[in-house]
Each structure stands twice: as C-alpha cells, then as structure tokens.
A and B are shown apart, each in its own frame.
Chain A
C-alpha cells in the first residue's frame, strides 16, 4: 500500500515536470502549427543558468532555489522569444522549415552546452527540506515530488487564467481556432507568437530548475530526455490542447512509475499507450478532429 502511494505521488511529481515542458509545446503548436524541437534546449539552458546563479548564494538555501527559479524562467523566456523573433518569424507560415530550424537549433545548442558545461551530469544539493521526505499513508515521499506537482498545477492555473482574462489570451484562443481571421480583424498575430514562445520558454526554464532538483543533477541532455516524453504527452493529450496535455502528463507519468516498479520498462509501456491511443483516437484524448 505504502509503495503504491509512493509511486502515485512521485508519478504526480514527474507529471508536473512533463506538463511544464508540454504546456509550452502545446500552446506553440496550437497557435502556430509548429512543433518546437528546441524546447528541450530552453529547459536545459534555464536549468544551467538558474542553477549557476543559485550557486553564488548556495543551491542548498531557499534563497538560492528561489533565485534559480526566477532566473531559470527568465532565461527560458528570453531564449524562446529570441528564437521566435530570429528564426521562426522570418519563415512565417512555412511550417516544415520552421520545424527543421528548431531541429537544427536543438542539435546545435546541445553541442554548445556540452562545450560550455561539459558533457557529464553536474550533481547538486537542494535545500534540506527538498532533499528529505514526508510520510504520507505510510509512504516516505520525497518532498520535491510535491513541489514539482504543485508547480505544474500552478503553471496550468496561471496559463488558464491568462488565456481567459487577458486581451492576449483572447487573441491566442481565437488564433488557435483561425489565425487568418484574427489578422483580418486588424490584429498583429505575430506578437502573440512571440508571447506564446516566451510563456512556453518560461515554463520550460522553470521546469529545468525543478528537474535539476527532482533528478539531483543538471546535464546538457536534461531537456532532450524530458522532451521526448513531453512530445508523447502532447500527442496523447491531443496536439494543441492544454487540458489534454495536463491530463496526459499525469496519466503518462503515473503509468510510467507504476510499470517501472512492478514490471520494468515503463518507457516502453508509455510508447505502447501512445500506439493504443492513436489506434482508438488518432486526434488524441482531447484533440480536435484533424
């Protein structure tokens, strides 16, 4: 029983991390029709820069963690916004080329990160509370799992509120439905493009810092490893559906934890789930019909 609780809660924590990556992918795809392969690099960069700054005050202090989160999110947002302005915007509406550019960017940046920070993982220690556990229904649950889950939930709530109650949120929701008509109402939809990139990049940067706490290290491949699962999550949830991504994040992560413990090969079971979902519902759980 306590093992099950442990697996469920750590699954929720992992799901929070997946969602931090998948939310940006989903927003960007929904509005722009671009699947962003460089999203993992925003995460990795956010993690390295955030943790690097935190080292100045000590990664094991709350101030250090807070600083890392703020700096990581800001770095991710800046990198993403620059990517949109410099590489995506000039290829306006040429979706294949846009995807290719993000592929090139992901290959180039991972190599660059290896050059700057070395190819191997750098281990780090977070604040003592994050490193310890809380006993819940007999299970000793790592506190960091609660934090990543709550972070994912807060980001979801934040994005939903933003979409519901702001002018840009309105533009984004309309743009997801019909981009051309938004421009035909006199709105420069490209600003919304930069904005979704920045928001997605911020979530990824935040995810990068939290992932470094969750796994206990940073490495140039941190983002790429999470990105694959975030892709699976976005497809299972339905490309472009934020709630779909949230539901699928939790389902995928919990399933992965359970099978990893009871059967092994949790990663394979996730791919199998993807295959089953596509056979039954090609547009994903909450996706619109293509």
Chain B
C-alpha cells in the first residue's frame, strides 16, 4: 500500500516537473494546442487551463466535498479579479499588499453572504447564492462610481505590478504563476479534505441529521468550507487578472458559475483529479470548438449542421447532458470502472 503511494507521489511530482518545464520545450499537439508549448499563445491557453482547474477545485470543495450546490461561486472569483484591479488602480499598494487586502475582502464577503445563504439548504441554497452573485454581476455592470468600468471592464494598472509579470514576453512567468496557484489550491484542498473538518464535511454531505445527533455542528463546518472555497476562488481571480491583464463582467456572471458546475460534473463529482481534468478539457474544448466554428469546413455545411456546430456552448452543454444521463461519476467514474474492469481481467488471467 505504502509502495503504491510512493509511486503515485513520484509520478505526480514527475508530471509536475514536466508541466513546469513546458515553456522550455517545443511540444506541439495538433488539434489540441494552438502551437508549440514555448509560444506565448499556447502558454496563455495552458495557464488559463491551470487557473480554471484551480477554480474548479475550489468549487469541488463546495459541491464534491460538502455537497453544497452553489450557483454563485463566480462572485468570489470576480471579487478577486475586480478587487485587485480596483485596488491596484486606486491605491499605491504594491501587488502583494493589494493581494492581501483583496483576499481579506473576499473572505469577509464570503463569511457574511455564506452565513445568510446557509440558513437554507438544497435548492433554496442554490437559488440564494445565485441571487447574490447576480447582484454582484449587476453592480459590476452598472459601474458605480466608475469603479468597475461597466460593460467595458477594467484594464490592469501595471504601475505597481512587478515587470516580470507584465507583457507578452513574460507569459512564461505568468504560466508558472498559474501553475503555482493550481498546486497551492490543490494542496489546500487536499489538506482540508484530510483534516477533521473535512471528514465532518463529508459526513454532512452523507447525512446531516446524523452529524447533528452525534454533536457535530454542520452549519459551522459548512460555513468554514464555504469561506475557504471562496477565499481560494478570490486567489485564483487575482491570478486571472494578471494573466488576462484585465477584468470583464463575464467573470461575475451566473453562467460562469454554471460552467464551473459543468466542469466538475464532467470530471466526476467528488474527485479532485476529475475537477482538474474536467476544467482543462472544458477550457481546451471551449477554445478549439470556437475555432472549429470559424473553420471553412463548418462554413460549407448546410444550416441544420452549421448552426449547432458553430456554437461551442451548445456542443459543451449537449456533452454535459449526455454525461449526466449516461456516464454516472463523469470521467473519473468512467476511468475508475475501466481500471476496475482491467484489474478484474488481470485477476481472472492470473487465476
């Protein structure tokens, strides 16, 4: 048992090193990546994958671990994106100081709104989080006091951002930052899941009443996890601002949360790797399907085929429906079944 654990750890570390070295290599996967891995365009897409995966992991903490179906997780991501953009523009704080302020703000926001939303459960909880996020979206679009830039969004004010993180020439640094964020979020999520609070949280998902009967405090645990997940989302949001050098209102929309839900379910609810794989797959598909839509092959098709094929979100939504209906447990579940079947076959051969 311990041996397989070591092997797994070594494989994970090896994989991580490989992924970290990508900017120095020239790996090209036609059809998946837009170009070789040292090109800024490719690095930008991969960095986006890592940040999306980190965000999906923070959502996994809510939905997969505690079973809280939030439709407003985008709010805390947007708090990071817009919060950092605003603080950098309006104050003289250096990047790190600004980040600390924004994180504190995100956590406080999550604490207040979480405390209210968690008074209800199930579908009502989903609705309430949706409503709060929608309020945030309205605020951002309305541009109060010229803070958020309305529909236009905000450009990143680079005066107090280290030069190494600015500009296309430094995309590889941003790539490493994104990867670091993913690793940190993964470790935090792992740590929470393994902690006492994580075990209670999992028990709450299975049977809240039983937790209460044995003297546990489901509300406190749920709120704790809610705030932690929101804090992680805020961190990811700040990295996202640096990577995209700007904030757009879409980051705060309810559709954005729904796409997180899509990623986590595609990958497999309750699985950390599922969340990561789901997010990466989703990001790449979204990108590549968009290009497919503009391709000549699709343009030449009759309207019945052309219209659906030129809408990436339609294809992703349809995929999602099929996975929910026919692939319980998502990709992780399917992979688990395959390896189990493989193991059974090997056992049968051995016997």
Contact = CB atoms under 8 A, between A and B. Distances in A.
Interface stretch (B53-61, B88-96, B235-243, B313-321): B313-321
Contacts of B161: none
Interface in A65-116: 87, 90-91, 96-97, 99-101, 103-112, 114-116
Interface stretch (A12-20, A130-138, A188-196, A274-282): A274-282
A245 to B, nearest CB: 13
Contacts of A111: 311-314, 317
A25 to B, nearest CB: 10
A33 B122 CA distance: 10
Interface string B222-261: 0000000000000000000000000000000011001101
B227 to A, nearest CB: 17
B139 interface: yes
A185 interface: no
Contacts, number: 120
A35 B258 CA distance: 14
A110 to B, nearest CB: 7
B185 to A, nearest CB: 24
A110 B259 CA distance: 13
Nearest to B303: A116
B124 A235 contact: yes
Contacts of A106: 258, 317
A104 B317 contact: yes
A101 B131 contact: no
A270 B134 CA distance: 11
Given A116-B307, A228-B254, A239 B123 contact: yes
Contacts of A239: 123-124
Contact of A103 (B128, B131, B262): B262
Interface stretch (B2-10, B29-37, B113-121, B343-351): B113-121
Given A101-B321, A103-B262, A107-B262, A279 B123 contact: no
Nearest to B323: A104
Interface of A is mostly: helix
Interface in A210-236: 228, 231-232, 234-235
A105 B69 contact: no
Contact of B69 (A96, A101, A235): A96
Interface residues of A, number: 41
B107 interface: no
Contacts of B320: 100, 103-104, 107-108
A87 B325 contact: yes
Interface residues of B, number: 41
A274 B139 CA distance: 17
Contact of A275 (B116, B314, B318): B116
Given A104-B321, A282-B120, A115 B265 contact: no
A35 B129 CA distance: 14
B310 interface: yes
A115 B307 contact: yes
A87 B313 contact: no
Contacts of A60: none
Contacts of A279: 116, 119
A81 B255 CA distance: 25
A112 B119 contact: no
Interface in A110-158: 110-112, 114-116
A274 B119 CA distance: 12
Given A111-B314, A112-B311, A268-B139, A231 B127 contact: yes
A58 to B, nearest CB: 26
Interface in B191-213: none
Interface in A260-281: 265, 267-268, 270-271, 274-275, 278-279
B173 to A, nearest CB: 34
A114 B142 CA distance: 24
B314 A115 contact: yes
B324 A104 contact: yes
Interface of B: 69, 116-117, 119-121, 123-124, 126-128, 130-132, 134-135, 138-139, 142, 254-255, 258-259, 261-262, 265, 307-308, 310-318, 320-321, 324-325
Given A96-B69, A267-B135, A274-B131, 19 more contacts: A99-B69, A101-B325, A104-B320, A104-B321, A106-B258, A107-B258, A107-B313, A108-B317, A108-B321, A112-B314, A115-B307, A228-B131, A231-B130, A268-B135, A275-B128, A278-B117, A278-B119, A278-B128, A290-B124
